[in-house]
Amino acid sequence: MLRAENLSKRFGGLHAVQNVSFTHYGGEILAVIGPNGAGKTTLLNLLSGVYRPSTGRLWLQQEDITDAPMERRCHAGLGRAFQIVRPFPEMTVHENVTVGALFGQRGMRLPQARERAYDLLERTGLAAHADRAAHELTLLQDKRLEVARALATQPCVLLLDEVMAGLRPAEAQEAVELVRGVRDSGISILFIEHIMPVVRDLADRVVVMDQGQVLAEGTYREVTANPQVVAAYLGTEAGLHA
């Protein structure tokens, strides 16, 4: 599905991401974890097209998207939900999702996109708020909107950037259910997360990053048993089971 080959990104002398390779298989939930400053966010920005890699290649399905601009990645099937939610503030909730449905795939027509948007609002539990202004939502609703809008583009791979950040435990549980539902509809998910219980509950496979490189890869159980991973985490204030 999504395949990275030796991705590197330098900012001046700093190697933010160095020789990262991984394969993200269809239908899989892949978590990228690592201590602060490990390069997770830079990696996500390389995947979604905010930055171009200094070296390395990136493939989605059979298509080389290394240098593709963001909108082409979207058309190729890559969706992204931001850590800091960014609804279009002057639009209604429904209009927000309509934008994703309308432009995420080429050749969509407006009535069709509106219908799709309503379907997605129902699936993500936002139907009752369809006509409210986007800036009136609660944080959890905002996150749902963020996901609904990304889904509206009909991605085959969805990138989630710390979507649980700022949610209370009960809300996080709801969000976990939402993400599972998305995967069950056939979309593979790559997510960055700090909250370890969420990683444990959701991830089929985990990639651990440290200092810009891949430190370990495997199931949650495997990587948390890896002494190198434990050492990397103990070196930071966070700790693995925080």
Q: Which residues would be at the binding site for other proteins (CB under 8 A)?
A: 48, 50-52, 69-71, 74-75, 80, 82, 86, 88-92, 95, 98-100, 102-105, 109-110, 115, 118-119, 122, 127-128, 130-133, 149-150, 152-153
The Cα 226–Cα 59 span in angstroms is 29
Query: Whose Cβ is closer to other proteins: residue 12's or residue 227's?
Result: 12
The Cα 87–Cα 235 span in angstroms is 37
Closest-CA residue to 145 (of 101, 186, 97): 97
Query: Whose Cβ is closer to other proteins: residue 75's or residue 200's?
Result: 75
**Smallest distance from the beta carbon of 223 to other proteins, in angstroms?**
29
Query: Whose Cβ is closer to other proteins: residue 23's or residue 92's?
Result: 92
**Smallest distance from the beta carbon of 91 to other proteins, in angstroms?**
5
DSSP string, 118-129: HHHHHHTT-GGG
Query: Whose Cβ is closer to other proteins: residue 59's or residue 88's?
Result: 88
**Residue position matching structure tokens 């909107």:** 145
**Smallest distance from the beta carbon of 14 to other proteins, in angstroms?**
16
Q: How many CA atoms lie within 13 A of 29 on its CB side?
A: 22
Closest-CA residue to 217 (of 49, 1, 4): 4
**Smallest distance from the beta carbon of 217 to other proteins, in angstroms?**
27
Residues paired with residue 145 on neighbouring β-strands, in sequence order: none
**Smallest distance from the beta carbon of 156 to other proteins, in angstroms?**
14
H/E run at residue 139: helix 139-152
Query: Whose Cβ is closer to other proteins: residue 96's or residue 224's?
Result: 96
